[in-house]
Amino acid sequence: MILTVTPNPSLDRTYEVPALERGAVLRAAADRLDPGGKGVNVSRAAAAAGVRTTAVLPLGGPAGTLLAELLAAEGVDVTAVSILGRTRSNVSLVEPDGTLTKVNAPGPVLTPAESALLLDTVRTCAGNPDWIAACGSLPPGLPPNWYAELVARARTTGARVALDTSGPALAEALPARPDVVKPNAAELAEAVGRPLFTLGDVAAAAEELRSRGAGAVLASLGADGQLLASAHGILHGSAPVAAVRSNAGAGDAALAGFLAAGGSGPEALASALAHGAAAVRLPGSAMPTPADLRPEAVRITPRPLLDRYLTEPAVPGRATVRLEPPAGPVDPTGPIEPTAV
């Protein structure tokens, strides 16, 4: 059983547009409305995979009511903390090549009483979860150390804890020793304060997070696959995707696949890759079912070539950009293929 905590959930409206043109009237080819927020998506992906899951989240206003209804329709148990503010709504624009442009609202301000109730709800929530996944940005009103407190309380339940956040919230939570953290390349570069150009750079950054308290690091590298650093060593994997429809929620689907498969070792990494690759082939933030997975396409490398250059290097303070690899050692296995985030 996977319990998720999403302190800043949302309703996510996704529009598929022919091209993003500033100042123009855009006509969408398709649109959809989904429950949103990283932890919410982990629960949605877990439910789609047939894994029992409960989503703990603060909800307020009509958007909060609708979000709970949409989650229930997808088979997710909802434990809601009622708040005075209104649950936020986000907008995503997806172009035919898979380019995603998002407008995320800041979310409602949580009062100290609402924050305390959310923490207490996680500690007392029934179900004896195998994993507690704490995910996403912090809404206004919550301090950067809020996730550190959540991880500490979650560990008293006996469950293992996964954390997917970034910036100061990630840095302050590491000493609480989450069992696994799941940054993307840009978040990992920000966390260590240096650029990542090779798989070796990613591995070294992941090991630094482990030295600061993380039990394992599952790094999503976009077109460069995923890297898992743990006490058992470094693993790298990829899952080629011919065409990306939308990468919204793909990293969350990958985390759900990782946890559903036990949360450690090559089998869990393979599951994460299969779920992430399936998610990017679906519209909006739709979550994959077992029928969408293509496990035969997943490749796991137990001894990755760490001097292999990333096709999408990450630089702190900048979005991940796609660059040609600089001159250097050539990977004998050939160029890195496009893969799921």
Is residue 227 within 8 A of residue 206, CB to CB? The reply is yes
Q: For residue 109, what are its two tokens?
A: 């301000």
Q: Which two tokens stand for residue 32?
A: 């959809």
> Do residues 226 and 199 touch, judged by C-beta distance below 8 A?
no
Burial of 73 (0-12, 13-18, 19+ CB in 10 A): exposed
What is the separation, in whole angstroms, between the first and last Cα of the chain? 24
Query: Number of helices (H) and strands (E), helices first, in the chain?
Result: 9, 16
CA-wise closest residue to 171 among 157, 159, 183, 154 = 183
Cβ-contact 36, 285 below 8 angstroms? yes
Burial of 277-298, coded b for 16+ CB within 10 Å and e otherwise, reads bbbbbbebbbbbeeebbeeebb
Query: Residue 139, class by beta-carbon neighbours within 10 Å (0-12 exposed, 13-18 middle, 19+ buried)?
Result: buried
SS3 229: strand
Distance CA 67, CA 55 (A): 11
Q: What's the rounded Cα separation, in Å, for the pair 299 and 303? A: 12
**Annotation says 77 is catalytic:** no
Tokens 């293509």, residue located: 294
Determine the Cα–Cα distance for residues 118 and 12; give it in Å rounded to an integer.
22
- List 97, 252, 292, 307, catalytic entry: 252
Let me know: does 322 contact 215? Beta carbons within 8 Å.
Answer: no
- Collapsing DSSP to helix, strand or coil, 54 comes out as strand
Which two tokens mark 206?
């992941």
Catalytic residues: 252
